[in-house]
């Protein structure tokens, strides 16, 4: 626990650590990770769900009932359903996205993996992701898990974050740097 607490912090970190410990003890790490991945995707796709977890307008009971219905409909494991119930009853649903991210961090550390966040302007192919993974594996001295995201605002190129290191090879950044340089010339 002491080592895990240095990986994640804050309210979200405490919830993630508690869920991680329960899932590890119950031998359900993979099932919980899968359920949290689905929940994360739901949050990314549904503005109504985001409003439910972030808005203080909803009562504790309304939030608990709604998130319970979502978990039931999605077929989440009993452990994840109980976790969501506790978070909702404690009026902490607003930290859900951060708790999911913290759980992923704990799980990756437990498995000896490094998480690399790769943001691109367009979706990358499996071959491209594999090439990035193999390049990063030599840097990370271990297994690397790619968390691929798309941001059309990059225009082109990639932004790669691995631990505290970031490589920004996006067209947007290059244009911004050029713009800044041009202001200095004028």
pLDDT digits (tens, 9 = 90+) for 61-87: 999 999 999 999 999 999 999 999 999
Identify the CATH class of 113-185: alpha beta
Q: Is the pTM of this model over 0.85?
A: no
Identify the CATH class of 2-108: mainly alpha
Domain with CATH 1.10.520.20 in the chain: 2-108
pLDDT digits (tens, 9 = 90+) for 114-127: 889 999 999 999 99
pLDDT digits (tens, 9 = 90+) for 125-168: 999 999 999 888 888 777 898 989 999 999 999 999 998 899 99
pLDDT digits (tens, 9 = 90+) for 6-37: 688 999 999 999 999 999 999 999 999 999 99
User: CA distances (Å), 55 to each of 58, 91, 92, in order?
Assistant: 6, 10, 11
Residue 186 has pLDDT above 80, yes or no: no
User: CA distances (Å), 128 to each of 11, 139, 174, in order?
Assistant: 36, 17, 22
> Which position has the token pair 């996205």?
97
How far apart, in whole angstroms, are the C-alpha atoms of residue 123 and residue 155? Answer: 12
Most distant CA pair in the chain, distance? 65
Confidence (pLDDT) at 2: 45
Domain with CATH 3.40.30 in the chain: 113-185
Residue 3 has pLDDT above 60, yes or no: no
């Amino acid at each position: 626990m002491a080592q895990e607490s240095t990986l994640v912090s804050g309210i979200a970190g405490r919830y993630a650590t508690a869920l991680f410990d329960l899932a590890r003890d119950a031998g359900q790490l993979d099932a919980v990770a899968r359920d949290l991945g689905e929940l994360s995707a739901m949050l990314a796709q549904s503005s109504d769900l985001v409003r439910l977890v972030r808005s203080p307008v909803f009562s504790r009971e309304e939030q608990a009932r709604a998130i319970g219905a979502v978990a039931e409909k999605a077929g989440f494991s009993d452990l994840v359903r109980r976790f969501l119930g506790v978070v909702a009853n404690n009026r902490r649903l607003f930290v859900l996205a951060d708790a999911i991210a913290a759980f992923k961090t704990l799980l990756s550390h437990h498995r000896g993996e490094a998480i690399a966040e790769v943001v691109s302007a367009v979706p990358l192919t499996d071959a491209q992701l594999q090439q990035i993974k193999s390049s990063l594996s030599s840097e990370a001295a271990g297994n690397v898990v790619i968390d691929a995201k798309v941001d059309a605002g990059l225009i082109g190129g990639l932004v790669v974050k691995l631990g505290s290191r970031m490589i920004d090879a996006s067209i947007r950044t290059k244009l911004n740097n050029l713009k800044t340089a041009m202001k200095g010339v004028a």
